[in-house]
Amino acid sequence: MKHREFKMKKPGLKWRIIGYMAAFSAIILVLLWLIQVVFLEEVYQTVKRSELKRSAASICRNIDNDDIETLISRISQENEICVSIYTGSGVKVAESHIDAACMLHNIPSDILFKHYYDAQNNGGQDFLVLPRGGFYNPIYDPSKFEGSVPERDEGMGESLMLTIVEKSDKSNEDMVVFLNTMTSPVSATKKALQAELSLIIAILIICSVFFSYIMARHISKPITQMSKQASKLAEGDYDVDFSGRGYRESSELAESLNYAASELSKTDKLQKELIANISHDLRTPLTMISGYAEMMRDIPGEMSAQNLQVILDESKRLSSLVGDVMDLSKLGANIESLDKSEFSLTKCIESVIDRVGKMCASEGYKIEFSCDHDAIVYADENKILQVIYNLITNAINHTGEDKRIFVRQIVSLEEKSVRIEVVDTGEGIAKEDIENIWERYYKVDRVHKRANVGSGLGLSIVKSILDLHCAKYGVESEQGKGSTFYFELS
């Protein structure tokens, strides 16, 4: 019994976006919870200690200032810090208090100055953290009360005391600066923030899921539509229309797919025409070979040299067509490589003209070649020979009633290049067809007619070979005045 293998589908773009948005929202919420709730007390304590040290540094810098009382009064009011300044001998210099319950008011002077000695032994600074106490009434019994009542207040805060010893330049004795501040309890604040964040989390989760769904749908919808259209394109429906509304990338993708569909449609149509044309060209020589052979077999006296020549000519035509198709296939598949060497382009052209001229002389064709001097190029000689042969053959097939073809060699010493032009006097090419004349399956004359020489695939082969050489090439034509095909080599 065969078991079918089920492949789990990957999540679509829409669900991926929703997942990413949910993960992002979760990270933000976790960070908010950690900062606002879990580490709130640590952050608050750090800020208060920093304020205490910053205030102490400001006072120490101005310890000899006659207006020091104004400074410590301002610091006390702005930062809620109690300040007392004494000399090392115990004489009070200045003080400012905003809280009657501060330690500076409530501890004995001998204990206060103990911190002075501790600061001296600790490099001039002593920091002390003391709990503010709690609810320790022994008579208090929470079981006597109804509802949720505290058994003990754990959020009484702390008392921070900083002692700084600073040398006075004016009196040349130690000046002792005592600073005391109270940290407020944060338990109530934490509870409020917890309730607030819980509400924010609920709202944010709902909003993030809703908006991420809308956004994901907006992004994925054009891609989903284009995917369906692409499936139709793969099935051979080239009339599909890709629309990428929504954002720039989808519009650009839709334009590219529309262009691809158009080119595929054009290629498919022209390929069918090529097959029809090749089939016609193959059938014609095969029919003639078969017909003449049967005639020579069945009719006495028809075994003549003229009939045999027809069979030979049609066989050559058939062989030429098959060879061109094979060359075109190899060049199109990029399996052809170049065998470059230095050779005389002038002699190469002369050999082609001599060979083709003899074949066409009986039909009245004249090929004229003009050059100033011998041109040496670095290229693949056999393939360039094929280019020249195909261009001249193309000119023969399309020249005018005068049956004249002109081949020109123009050497540019400045650019160190040579330009070859093949000119016919035929009907020319329409402007709308010039851009497509080199295409593999393109045919200007939609009504197929059998060429006198060649297979009709020559220009496609020329284009492929010249592209391999990275050569410049083109055609200049005007209807009623013939065409000039050219290429340049260095």
Per-residue H/E/C for 407-432: EEEEEECCCCEEEEEEEECCCCCCHH
* Contact assessment for residue 99 and residue 80, using Cβ atoms and an 8 Å cutoff: yes
Look at residue 394 in the predicted model and tell me its pLDDT: 87
- Taken as a whole, the chain contains a residue count of 490
Look at residue 443 in the predicted model and tell me its pLDDT: 58
Q: Give the Cα separation of 257 and 238 in Å (integer).
A: 11
pLDDT in tens, the chain (490 residues): 444 444 555 666 667 777 777 788 888 888 888 877 777 778 888 888 888 889 989 999 898 888 888 998 898 888 888 999 998 888 888 888 887 777 787 778 788 888 888 888 888 888 888 765 444 444 555 565 555 545 544 455 678 889 999 988 888 888 999 999 888 776 667 777 778 878 887 888 888 778 877 877 777 777 777 878 888 888 778 778 887 666 677 777 788 888 888 878 877 776 776 676 667 667 767 777 787 788 888 887 777 887 787 778 778 767 766 776 676 666 665 556 778 899 999 999 998 888 887 777 778 889 999 998 889 999 988 889 889 988 998 898 888 888 999 999 999 877 788 999 999 999 888 888 887 787 655 555 544 443 444 455 678 888 888 988 889 999 999 888 899 999 999 8
> Which DSSP string do the residues of 193-246 spell out, in sequence order?
HHHHHHHHHHHHHHHHHHHHHHHHHHHHHHHHHHHHHHHHHHTT-TT-----TT
Query: 120-155: string of b/e by CB count within 10 Å (b at 16+)?
Result: beeeebbbeeeebeeeeeeeeeeeeeeeeeeeeeeb
Q: Give the Cα separation of 48 and 163 in Å (integer).
A: 15
Among candidate residues 52, 267, 256, 85, the one with its CA nearest the CA of residue 158: 52
Among candidate residues 432, 410, 400, 382, the one with its CA nearest the CA of residue 487: 410
Q: Which residues contact 84 (CB under 8 A, 6 or more apart)?
A: 92, 94, 95, 97, 104, 177, 178
Q: Which residues contact 364 (CB under 8 A, 6 or more apart)?
A: 403
Look at residue 485 in the predicted model and tell me its pLDDT: 94
Alpha-carbon distance values, 170 to 164, 244, 271, 322, 391 (Å)? 18, 81, 104, 112, 107
Q: Give the Cα separation of 430 and 446 in Å (integer).
A: 13
Total-model pTM? 0.45
Q: Which residues contact 477 (CB under 8 A, 6 or more apart)?
A: 428, 429, 434, 483, 484
